[in-house]
Amino acid sequence: MRRTVTVTLGVVLLLLLFAPFSDFSLGVQGDEPFQVHLPVVANRPSRIAFVSVPPYAPTAEIYVMYADGTEVTRLTHHWAADEAPAWSPDGRRIAFVSGRDEGYGQIYVMNADGSAVTHLTYALMGDAAPAWSPDGREIAFVSHRDGNSEIYVMNADGARQTRLTNNPAWDDYPAWSVDGRRIAFMSDRDGNAEIYIMNADGAGVTRLTNNRAGDYDPAWSPDGRKIAFVSDRDGNRQIYVMNADGMEQSNLTNNQSLDQDPAWSPDGRRIAFTSDRDFLPTIYAMNADGTGQTRLTPNDPFDNGSMPAWGP
């Protein structure tokens, strides 16, 4: 009996002694033995932040996943709605809109892992649609603080909140050009929703679309040449793309469902968007020419996703 115990103990000790070494030898005999020990930032896939209402939860929360739809991680945990995520250019922070303090939306920022939530705006009537400038120093956003929807800009820490548009119309959906010199936005100042661009100081407003349908939500391509946007000119909301001067407007999605919220991948080859073609809104991505439309969030009847923001 005693000998059996001793032998068993000896075997356990031997296993404990050699376990680290066997792990090590397994590691060095693998195909890429040292990859797990080195920073792999250069090979890290890009990430998509998005909004989803979890099962049995009262409101929307912000999630992040890799661009292939894997490793979905929840970032916010609050009974109030959290939505409209926008990446800082370095991928380290996410601006978003939350009703957690005032009950109506205000702009917040958090680290990309959901920590260090900071409250940036406190306006009456609420703020929305944060969009980070390409140099990371400023955030454009929408506010109703002066009586109607206008585009504003502030430093990324919330300082120097400045109005850029001054028009009784609905002005919304700011999107920076990659060189930081211009902001595309939507306005119905000429009778219905159209896409406009202006200089980053609010001057030089130029209309890019001109039709009787609604045109919304511009998104500048990373090379600065194209603007994706949403239009219901063909009967329901679809994703379109045009040159940055408004020429060559073409349809990328063409179906009976609602497709919206276009967001370019950092390499400009793909566009993520929200589609309700599977009943609930979910995140899709397609090639920049509209081909290869694939669902990213799981094909589960309870899964839903919207407002994708494609980060580095």
Residues making contact with Ca ion (CB under 5 A): 59, 61, 78, 82, 148, 150, 167, 169, 171, 192, 194, 211, 215
**Segments in the chain forming alpha helices (H):** 2-29
Exposure string for 110-132, b = 16+ CB within 10 A, e = fewer: bebebeebeebbebeebbbbbbb
Nearest residue to 130 via CA among 144, 120, 141, 116: 141
What is the phi/psi pair of residue 157, to 5°? -95, 5
CB of 64 to Ca ion, least distance (A): 15
CA distance 167 to 181: 21
CB of 194 to Ca ion, least distance (A): 4
Between 61 and 261, name the residue whose CB sits nearer to Ca ion: 61
Between 75 and 112, name the residue whose CB sits nearer to Ca ion: 75
CA distance 168 to 187: 10
Between 145 and 295, name the residue whose CB sits nearer to Ca ion: 145
Cβ(239)–Cβ(289) under 8 Å? no
Q: What letter represents residue 222's amino acid?
A: P
Between 59 and 251, name the residue whose CB sits nearer to Ca ion: 59
Cβ(93)–Cβ(109) under 8 Å? yes
Cβ(110)–Cβ(124) under 8 Å? no
Between 167 and 287, name the residue whose CB sits nearer to Ca ion: 167
Between 24 and 79, name the residue whose CB sits nearer to Ca ion: 79
Between 191 and 301, name the residue whose CB sits nearer to Ca ion: 191
CB of 12 to Ca ion, least distance (A): 48
CB of 211 to Ca ion, least distance (A): 5
**What residues form DSSP beta bridges with 155?**
138
CB of 196 to Ca ion, least distance (A): 11
State the pairing for strand pair 226-231/238-243.
Answer: antiparallel
CA distance 270 to 266: 8
Q: Which helix (H) or strand (E) holds 271?
A: strand 270-275
CB of 165 to Ca ion, least distance (A): 5
Nearest residue to 151 via CA among 134, 133, 135, 178: 133
CB of 117 to Ca ion, least distance (A): 11
CA distance 155 to 169: 25
